[in-house]
Amino acid sequence: MPLEIPPADTPAIVLVEPQLAENIGMTARAMANFGLSDLRLVNPKNGWPKKGVREAASGATHVLDAARIYASLPEAIADLGLVLATTARSRGQMKRVLAPEAAMAELAARPAGQRAGILFGRERVGLDNDEVSLADAIVTFPVSPDFPSLNLAQAVLLVGYEWRRASGRAAIPFSGEMLSPPAPKAALLSLFDYVEGLLDEAAFYPPGKREGIARNMRDMFHRMAMTEQDVRTLRGALRAIAARGDSGAGPGPDEAAG
Amino acid sequence: MPLEIPPADTPAIVLVEPQLAENIGMTARAMANFGLSDLRLVNPKNGWPKKGVREAASGATHVLDAARIYASLPEAIADLGLVLATTARSRGQMKRVLAPEAAMAELAARPAGQRAGILFGRERVGLDNDEVSLADAIVTFPVSPDFPSLNLAQAVLLVGYEWRRASGRAAIPFSGEMLSPPAPKAALLSLFDYVEGLLDEAAFYPPGKREGIARNMRDMFHRMAMTEQDVRTLRGALRAIAARGDSGAGPGPDEAAG
């Protein structure tokens, strides 16, 4: 699978003593979703590889296949210059505490050539204080205080998402080139004239109320934020209805102006 | 469990024909992480409730217990005023396509009292075109084009995260009040004086190099962005080392200045 970003520029995801195959697989998938590929596992509980991990990765097996296993956290981060530790709550350490967005902005702005990594702790108990002390700063998540327990792969996903945004690669993959462009005002005004002409022909407006009703309807059309295609479609629909003659009863003016 | 936000103000999460218990449970957990509580399931495949769903929710059972089941999507969104549809790729529909951040900003700015909801499609095939056409706008995710397949609960998580940020409730739960405040410059300068005095006593500086070396060291200390506590700790550590006498060999000046 071609990598769109040089792997050396993407942060490593370091899972410390992860236990569940499902979480590791989902982590690989979340990494692939946002273009990360450097997965490091420190002393995975109950051995490696784990049964079911490939299924949970749902196709992101290139990340799993390239994962490296380490016996200790210091070995896993030896080549990294900038290390962030994710924690669920304050650890009382004298470190800066960053939200994911700020943390990834800092990571994206690091010196060229400096490798970076983000530490994630065990499913139940997270990172211990000695592990956190190895990091340059702490990343935490703006979760509800009523239910702060974030799944491991979900935490990785948020970091990957914010990394991709911070690194300027978060443009929506389809930017609307398949959509019709917004309608120019001339098309809208022409549509208004057409609609109001039809309503005049239909004797729709009560005496003295034409101006107010027409203004309300123009506002309604404006709120539709129509594309050129929308205008064509609407105009065609109105034409079709008009050509239909008077066989159906339209809405009364009060309802239309309400 | 107390709800911190009036449920009417939080968007409904609408899953259309979800299949896997694990995804529905993880969705409930992700919702609880970000303070969402209105879960709606349209025609869940293979019935409801599903075996294993409570385990996957990992404690977010209040969301599952309050989930409502609908036979059709129009019924599920009947009370909503603003509906967004999540899609993985362009559907060629004449709708605005928004990134999660922009979508949730729009949702947070909607008129008071208007209920909102976000549609998520089936695990494999997403929403069909008729379902997307029920929405006011499309939300898509800035995923890597190499691996765009986002898990259902992961997509819900990103929307919940951005909703919480857009609604102004994303302050980091602990804002650093347990941390010592940043050191005032006076404390830093006093520390510099102390360190440089120690180094003078130790005859550390080569002739003519004191000024340059001291400046480099001050820069190093500045980059530490120390808190008051950091300064006290460092000062105490230096004092302890100084009191230790000359029994250990310190680094040479070239190394310290490098």
Assess contact for A85 and A50: CB atoms under 8 A: no
Task: Give, in order, the Cα–Cα distances in Å from B103 to each of B112, B140, B222.
Answer: 17, 9, 41
Q: Do the Cβ atoms of A33 and B150 come within 8 Å?
A: yes
Q: What is the largest CA-CA distance in chain B?
A: 86
CB contacts under 8 A, A 169-228 vs B, are 169-176, 178-180, 225, 227
What band does B177 get if pLDDT is binned at 50, 70 and 90?
very low
B169: which chain A residues are within 8 Å (Cβ-Cβ)?
142, 144
Q: Alpha-carbon distance B40 to B131, whole Å? A: 15
Residue A10 has pLDDT above 50, yes or no: yes
Instruction: Show the domains of chain B with their CATH numbers.
Output: 7-166 (3.40.1280.10), 185-257 (no CATH)
Assess contact for A191 and A65: CB atoms under 8 A: no
Residues whose CB is less than 8 angstroms from the CB of residue B38 and which lie 6 or more positions away in sequence, other chains included: B7, B10, B11, B12, B13, B66, B117
Q: Alpha-carbon distance A75 to B6, whole Å? A: 48
A158: which chain B residues are within 8 Å (Cβ-Cβ)?
157-158, 161
Of B141, B144, B224, B229, which to mutate for an interface test with A (greatest number of A Cβ within 10 Å)? B144
Nearest residue on chain B to A4, alpha-carbon basis: B146
Q: Do the Cβ atoms of A173 and B143 come within 8 Å?
A: yes
Q: A162 vs chain B: nearest CA distance in angstroms?
A: 10
Residue in B58, B95, B172 nearest the CB of A97: B172
Q: Do the Cβ atoms of B59 and A149 come within 8 Å?
A: yes
Of B161, B167, B233, which to mutate for an interface test with A (greatest number of A Cβ within 10 Å)? B161
Of A31, A33, A133, which to mutate for an interface test with B (greatest number of B Cβ within 10 Å)? A33
Of A1, A62, A144, A159, which to mutate for an interface test with B (greatest number of B Cβ within 10 Å)? A144
Count of CB atoms situated within 10 Å of the CB of A132 = 19
Strands B68-70 and B39-42: parallel
If residue B223 lies in a helix (H) or strand (E), which one and from where to where?
A: helix B210-223
Q: Do the Cβ atoms of A30 and B154 come within 8 Å?
A: yes
Residue in B22, B35, B94 nearest the CB of A144: B35
- By mean pLDDT, which of A16-25, A182-191, B146-155, B216-225 is the weakest? B216-225
Three-state DSSP state, A176: coil
Amino acid B84: pLDDT: 94
Q: B215 vs chain A: nearest CA distance in angstroms?
A: 22
Q: Do the Cβ atoms of A165 and B171 come within 8 Å?
A: no
Q: Do the Cβ atoms of B33 and A149 come within 8 Å?
A: yes
Predicted confidence (pLDDT) per residue in A201-248, tens digit: 888 888 888 888 888 777 777 766 777 877 888 888 778 777 765 444
Q: Would you call B229 an interface residue with chain A, using a CB distance cutoff of 8 Å? A: yes
Tell me: ipTM over 0.90: no
Identity of the amino acid at A24: I
What band does B136 get if pLDDT is binned at 50, 70 and 90?
confident
Amino acid A152: pLDDT: 97
Predicted confidence (pLDDT) per residue in B158-174, tens digit: 999 999 999 887 766 44
**CB burial string B204-215: b at 16+ within 10 A, e below:** bbeeeeeeebbe
- Give yes or no for a cis peptide into B6 (omega within 30° of 0): no
Amino acid A243: pLDDT: 73
Q: Which of A40-49, A188-197, A215-224, B177-186 has the highest mean pLDDT?
A: A40-49
Identity of the amino acid at B83: V
What band does B23 get if pLDDT is binned at 50, 70 and 90?
very high
A141: which chain B residues are within 8 Å (Cβ-Cβ)?
33, 161
CB contacts under 8 A, B 138-167 vs A, are 140-151, 153-154, 157-158, 161, 164-165
If residue B42 lies in a helix (H) or strand (E), which one and from where to where?
A: strand B39-42
Residues whose CB is less than 8 angstroms from the CB of residue B33 and which lie 6 or more positions away in sequence, other chains included: A141, A143, A144, A147, A148, A149, A150, A154, B157, B160
Residue B252 has pLDDT above 60, yes or no: no
Q: Would you call B6 an interface residue with chain A, using a CB distance cutoff of 8 Å? A: no
Q: Would you call A49 an interface residue with chain B, using a CB distance cutoff of 8 Å? A: no
Residue A116 has pLDDT above 70, yes or no: yes
A149: which chain B residues are within 8 Å (Cβ-Cβ)?
29, 33, 58-59
**DSSP 8-state class, residue A86:** E
* pLDDT > 90 in chain B, percent: 47
Amino acid B40: pLDDT: 97
Residue in A32, A147, A173 nearest the CB of B32: A147
Q: Which long-range contacts (CB under 8 A, 24 or more apart) does A62-65 make?
A: A62/A1, A62/A32, A62/A37, A63/A28, A63/A29, A63/A31, A63/A32, A63/A36, A63/A37, A63/A39, A64/A24, A64/A25, A64/A28, A64/A39
Look up residue A196 and give its two tokens: 């109001």
Concatenated DSSP letters of A6-24: -GGGSPEEEEES---HHHH
Mean pLDDT, rounded, of chain B:
83
Assess contact for A5 and A169: CB atoms under 8 A: yes
What band does B249 get if pLDDT is binned at 50, 70 and 90?
very low
* pLDDT > 70 in chain A, percent: 82
Tell me the count of A-B CB pairs closer than 8 A: 159
